[in-house]
Structure 1
Amino acid sequence: MEHEGQQGQEPQTPPAGPARYAFTPPEAPPKIEFKRVRRAPGKPPEKPERGGFKLQRWHLLTATGLVLALIMSLGWVGVDGWRAKGHLQIAAGLFVQLQQQVQRGDVSAARGTLAALQSETKAARESTGGFGWTLTGHLPLIGDDLQAVRTVAYVLDDLAGNGLPALLDVAAGLDPHRLAPRNGRIDLTALNAAAPRIARGLAVIRRAQAGVADIDTTSLVDKLAAAVTELRTGLAEAERIVATADRAAKLLPPMLGANGPRTYLVLFQNNAEVRSTGGMPGAYLVIHADAGAVTITDQGTAAKIGTFPTPVRALGVDEEGLYTERPAIFPADVNLSPDFPTAAELARTMYAKHSGIAVDGVLATDPVALSYLLRVTGPVRMPTGESLSSENAVRLLLSEVYAKYPNPSAQDAYFAGAARDIFNALIRGQGNPKGIITELSRAAGERRLLMWSADRDEQAALAGTVLEGRLPNNDDAAPTVGVFLNDGSGGKLSYYLTQTAALSGGECTEDGTRELHLKLTLGSTAPGAGLPSYVTGLALSGDPYTVRTNAMVFSPIGGGIVGVTLNGKEVEFGSGVERNRGVAVFTVDLGPGSSQTFDVTLQTADQPRAAAGTMPRLWTTPGVRPWKTTVTAGPACTRT
Structure 2
Amino acid sequence: MRHEWGTRMKRRRQRLIRRRVMIFVALLMVLLLGDGAYVAFGLKSSLETSKRSLSNGAVALGGGDLAIAEGELRKALRSAQESAGLARHPSVGALSLVPKIGDDVSTLQVLSAASELAARAGLQGLQAARAMGADQGRELIEAIYSEGRVNFDALHQGRPFVERAAGLLRQGSHSLDSAPEPTLTLLQDALETARDEVGGASESTSKGALLFDLLPKLLGADGKRKYLLAFQAPGEARGTGGLLGLFGVLHATDGRISLTGIQPGGDLFPAPLSPVRAPGWFERAYGTQKALTQFQQSNLSPRFPTVARVLLSMYTAQTGTKLDGVVAMDPIALAELLRATGPLPDINGEDVTSDNAATLVMHDSYVEFNEDEQNAYLADLIDALWSTIERGDLDGPQLATALGESVRSQHLKLWARDPDIQETIEEIGAHGWFPPSQGNVQMVFSNNYSVNKVDYYLQRDIDTKVELGQDGSADITTIVTIENQAPTGPPSLLLGPGIKSDPPGLNRMVLNILMPMGSLVRDFSLDGEPTVPIEYNEGAFPVAGYVIDIAAGGTATVKIHYSVPDAVNLSEQETFSFTLFPQATVNPDSFALSVTQAGVTDNAVEGDRNYSGALDQTRRIQVGLSSGEGD
Q: TM-score range by the shorter chain?
A: 0.7 to 0.9
Give the C-alpha shift of residue 288 in structure 1: 1.2
Give the C-alpha shift of residue 275 in structure 1: 0.6
**Amino acid corresponding to residue 261 of structure 1 in structure 2:** K
Q: 2:442 — aligned with what?
A: 481
1:266 aligned onto 2:225: no
Cα shift readout 1:319-359 (whole Å, capped 9, x = no counterpart):
52355362222112221111111111111222222233322
Are the equivalent residues in 1 in contact too, given 2:57–2:73 (CA < 8 A)? Answer: no
Could you tell me how far apart the structure 1 residues matched to 2:155 and 2:306 are?
Answer: 30
Q: Following superposition of structure 1 onto structure 2, how do residues 80-479 of structure 1 map, counting pairs within 5 Å?
A: 82-83=38-39, 85-103=41-59, 105=63, 106-129=65-88, 144-160=103-119, 162-170=120-128, 173=134, 175-182=140-147, 184-217=148-181, 223-306=186-269, 307-317=271-281, 320-321=284-285, 324=288, 326-381=290-345, 387-402=351-366, 405-406=369-370, 408=372, 410-463=373-426, 465-475=428-438, 479=440
1:597 aligned onto 2:557: yes
Q: Which moved more, 1:221-230 or 1:297-306?
A: 221-230
Could you tell me how far apart the structure 1 residues matched to 2:574 and 2:329 are?
Answer: 34
Give the C-alpha shift of residue 281 in structure 1: 1.1
**Amino acid corresponding to residue 229 of structure 2 in structure 1:** V
**Amino acid corresponding to residue 551 of structure 1 in structure 2:** L
Cα shift readout 1:124-150 (whole Å, capped 9, x = no counterpart):
333445789789978976555545444
Change (3 A) 1:78 1:623: same
Cα shift readout 1:221-260 (whole Å, capped 9, x = no counterpart):
5544554343333321221221222222221122122232
Q: Which moved more, 1:247-256 or 1:137-146?
A: 137-146
Are the equivalent residues in 1 in contact too, given 2:58–2:122 (CA < 8 A)? Answer: no
Q: Which moved more, 1:308-317 or 1:128-137?
A: 128-137
Are the equivalent residues in 1 in contact too, given 2:150–2:255 (CA < 8 A)? Answer: yes
Change (3 A) 1:405 1:229: closer
Q: 1:36 — aligned with what?
A: none
Q: 1:35 — aligned with what?
A: none
RMSD of the alignment, in Å?
3.9
Give the C-alpha shift of residue 166 in structure 1: 0.6
Q: SS where residue 5 of structure 2 aligns?
A: coil
Could you tell me how far apart the structure 2 residues matched to 1:589 and 1:421 are?
Answer: 38
1:571 aligned onto 2:536: no
Are the equivalent residues in 1 in contact too, given 2:33–2:94 (CA < 8 A)? Answer: no
Are the equivalent residues in 1 in contact too, given 2:454–2:506 (CA < 8 A)? Answer: no
Are the equivalent residues in 1 in contact too, given 2:328–2:413 (CA < 8 A)? Answer: yes
Give the C-alpha shift of residue 277 in structure 1: 1.4
**Amino acid corresponding to residue 590 of structure 2 in structure 1:** T
Q: SS where residue 633 of structure 1 aligns?
A: strand
Give the C-alpha shift of residue 482 in structure 1: 0.8
**Amino acid corresponding to residue 358 of structure 2 in structure 1:** V
Are the equivalent residues in 2 in contact too, given 1:406–1:534 (CA < 8 A)? Answer: no
**Amino acid corresponding to residue 467 of structure 1 in structure 2:** A
Q: 1:619 — aligned with what?
A: 581
**Amino acid corresponding to residue 474 of structure 2 in structure 1:** R
Give the C-alpha shift of residue 80 in structure 1: 6.9
Q: Which moved more, 1:399-408 or 1:504-513?
A: 399-408
Structure 2: tracts of 5 or more residues without a match: 597-604, 606-624
Could you tell me how far apart the structure 2 residues matched to 1:89 and 1:167 are?
Answer: 25
Give the C-alpha shift of residue 442 in structure 1: 2.6
Q: Which moved more, 1:132-141 or 1:323-332?
A: 132-141
1:554 aligned onto 2:514: yes
Q: Pick from 584, 592, 617 the counterpart of residue 544 of structure 2.
A: 584
Q: Which moved more, 1:193-202 or 1:603-612?
A: 603-612
Are the equivalent residues in 2 in contact too, given 1:167–1:198 (CA < 8 A)? Answer: yes
1:516 aligned onto 2:448: no
Larger Rg: 1
Q: SS where residue 335 of structure 2 aligns?
A: helix
Could you tell me how far apart the structure 2 residues matched to 1:309 and 1:233 are?
Answer: 49
Q: SS where residue 447 of structure 1 aligns?
A: coil
Are the equivalent residues in 1 in contact too, given 2:35–2:91 (CA < 8 A)? Answer: no
Q: 1:42 — aligned with what?
A: none
Could you tell me how far apart the structure 2 residues matched to 1:181 and 1:561 are?
Answer: 54
Cα shift readout 1:346-389 (whole Å, capped 9, x = no counterpart):
11222222233322221111112212333443432467555444
Could you tell me how far apart the structure 2 residues matched to 1:84 and 1:108 are?
Answer: 32
Change (3 A) 1:238 1:535: same
State the TM-score, normalizing by the size of structure 2: 0.81
Change (3 A) 1:499 1:136: closer
Change (3 A) 1:402 1:69: closer
Are the equivalent residues in 1 in contact too, given 2:47–2:80 (CA < 8 A)? Answer: yes
Could you tell me how far apart the structure 1 residues matched to 2:205 and 2:255 are?
Answer: 23
Cα shift readout 1:107-139 (whole Å, capped 9, x = no counterpart):
432322222222222223334457897899789
Q: SS where residue 272 of structure 1 aligns?
A: strand
**Amino acid corresponding to residue 214 of structure 1 in structure 2:** S
Q: SS where residue 312 of structure 2 aligns?
A: helix
Q: SS where residue 150 of structure 2 aligns?
A: coil
Could you tell me how far apart the structure 2 residues matched to 1:354 and 1:154 are?
Answer: 59
Cα shift readout 1:196-219 (whole Å, capped 9, x = no counterpart):
11110010111122334433326x
**Amino acid corresponding to residue 162 of structure 2 in structure 1:** I
Give the C-alpha shift of residue 434 in structure 1: 2.4
Could you tell me how far apart the structure 2 residues matched to 1:226 and 1:387 are?
Answer: 45
Change (3 A) 1:149 1:575: same
Could you tell me how far apart the structure 1 residues matched to 2:103 and 2:356 are?
Answer: 60
Q: How many equivalent pairs are there?
A: 584
Could you tell me how far apart the structure 1 residues matched to 2:574 and 2:584 are?
Answer: 28
State the TM-score, normalizing by the size of structure 1: 0.80
Give the C-alpha shift of residue 594 in structure 1: 1.8
Could you tell me how far apart the structure 1 residues matched to 2:24 and 2:227 are?
Answer: 74
Q: 1:497 — aligned with what?
A: 457
**Amino acid corresponding to residue 312 of structure 1 in structure 2:** V
Change (3 A) 1:618 1:286: same
Change (3 A) 1:526 1:472: same
Q: 1:22 — aligned with what?
A: 5
